[in-house]
């Protein structure tokens, strides 16, 4: 949840067509999804040289792999010959150190360089060095892979990820691994997901379990960030009873332990939450104007995963309940937006972060 202040002001929502219109959806793909750093999966999904994963961002198909030295590489999943798809499978491992087009057999190294064009008739005008795969910027952080499709705009990943790396520094997330995965398709526009994630006006009615562990979220008359205690008395983490049997991250400050959760967010698709005993990564990719795929990863220290009595059921159970509740609310919101008379709604003071964090960002990005 955001830490912005309620101002008492009212603001109109974004126009309803922003959530349903296919043409506007394509406009937002260009403005945001093709110009931002995006989380696209856990690094262990492409763990070894030759392993690969294909990710769809709108109508763009992106191929992630590792070269012989284990470095993460990303390319458009498109052959430089006549544009065929290179990899038809969503994931797997190449049988050799080559990426071979299934159409005419052009082959590329794991660094994207064109290596061979079979049955080639000699042609002095053809320069193979000019036909490497279209590269995509890719980095790793907190055991996850991030890409940026923008070849003309700023590529500074430190600037994009910096606030989160600093905020979550004491969790040492690069030393964690995914202990559990959840994938959920939700029938809502991607902005509906973000609006729900940045306000807790809905929490008392939608999340009774969460409000018991974090009473602060049940105080709908208060603006976020008013200094109220975060966790219920005696609670230490997000679970149904607020307790855990898992070891804590050892370098958390007293304030971080007391808060019970520390958020990092990066629009348009990434959230990370640190608790005392585990962390969660949530990333989302749009499937269309009214559908998203939500992926949640639970992260644990290696020592925790290796422990004989490792039991994460409490952590998974609690977050899964919250995710299901939010998904249902988002789908109801999306369905209601089809009312032909509803051209826009209103953002209440308790939801000031929706206007400040989401709507203003959308307005600025569409200029």
Q: How do residues 9-32 score in pLDDT, each as one tens digit?
A: 889 999 999 999 999 999 999 999
Region(s) of the chain under CATH 3.90.380.10: 1-31+169-367
pLDDT at 2: 42
Residue 63 makes CB contacts below 8 A (sequence gap 6+) with: 52, 53, 54, 74, 75, 76, 77, 86, 87, 99, 133
42 compared with 157, residue with greater pLDDT: 42
Q: pLDDT for 92-114, tens place per residue?
A: 999 999 999 999 999 999 999 99
**pLDDT at residue 152 is higher than 90:** no
16: Cβ contacts below 8 Å, ≥ 6 apart: 337, 339, 342, 343, 344, 345
E-strand spans in 187-337? 262-266, 270-274, 279-288, 291-301
Whether domain 37-149 has CATH 2.102.10.10: yes
User: Rounded to 5 degrees, what are φ and ψ at 328?
Assistant: -65, -45
In the predicted structure, residue 227 carries a pLDDT above the cut 60 = no
- Which ranges in the chain are annotated with CATH 2.102.10.10? 37-149
Q: 1-31+169-367 architecture in CATH?
A: Alpha-Beta Complex (3.90)
Structure token digits, residue 146: 């991030």
């Amino acid at each position: 949840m955001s830490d912005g202040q309620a101002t008492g002001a009212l603001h109109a929502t974004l126009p309803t067509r922003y959530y349903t219109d296919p043409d506007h959806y394509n406009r937002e793909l260009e403005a945001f999804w093709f110009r931002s750093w995006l989380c696209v999966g856990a690094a262990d999904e492409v763990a070894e040289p030759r392993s690969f994963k294909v990710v769809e961002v709108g109508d763009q198909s992106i191929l992630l792999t590792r070269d012989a030295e284990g470095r993460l590489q990303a390319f458009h999943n498109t052959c430089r010959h006549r544009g065929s798809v290179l990899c038809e499978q969503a994931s797997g491992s190449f049988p050799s150190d080559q990426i071979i087009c299934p159409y005419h057999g052009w082959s590329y190294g794991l660094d994207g360089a064109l290596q061979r064009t079979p049955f080639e008739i000699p042609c002095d005008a053809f320069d193979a060095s000019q036909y490497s795969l279209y590269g995509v910027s890719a980095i790793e952080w907190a055991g996850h892979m991030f890409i940026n499709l923008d070849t003309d705009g700023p590529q500074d990943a430190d600037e994009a990820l910096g606030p989160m790396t600093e905020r979550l520094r004491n969790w040492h997330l690069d030393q964690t691994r995914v202990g559990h995965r959840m994938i959920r398709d939700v029938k809502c526009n991607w902005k509906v997901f973000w609006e729900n994630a940045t306000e807790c006006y809905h929490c008392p009615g939608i999340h009774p379990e969460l409000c018991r562990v974090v009473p602060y979220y049940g105080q709908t008359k208060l603006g976020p960030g008013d200094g109220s205690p975060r966790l219920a008395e005696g609670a230490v983490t997000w679970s149904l009873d607020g307790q855990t049997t898992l070891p804590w991250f050892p370098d958390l400050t007293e304030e971080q332990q007391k808060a019970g959760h520390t958020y990092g967010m990066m629009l348009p698709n990434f959230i990370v939450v640190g608790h005392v005993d585990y962390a969660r990564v949530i990333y989302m990719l749009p499937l269309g104007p009214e559908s998203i795929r939500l992926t949640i990863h639970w992260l644990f220290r290696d020592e925790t995963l290796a422990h004989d009595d490792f039991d994460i059921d409490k952590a998974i159970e609690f977050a899964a309940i919250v995710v299901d509740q939010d998904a249902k609310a988002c789908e109801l919101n999306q369905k209601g937006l089809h009312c032909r008379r509803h051209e826009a709604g209103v953002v209440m003071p308790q939801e000031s972060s929706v206007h400040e964090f989401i709507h203003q960002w959308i307005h600025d990005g569409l200029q």
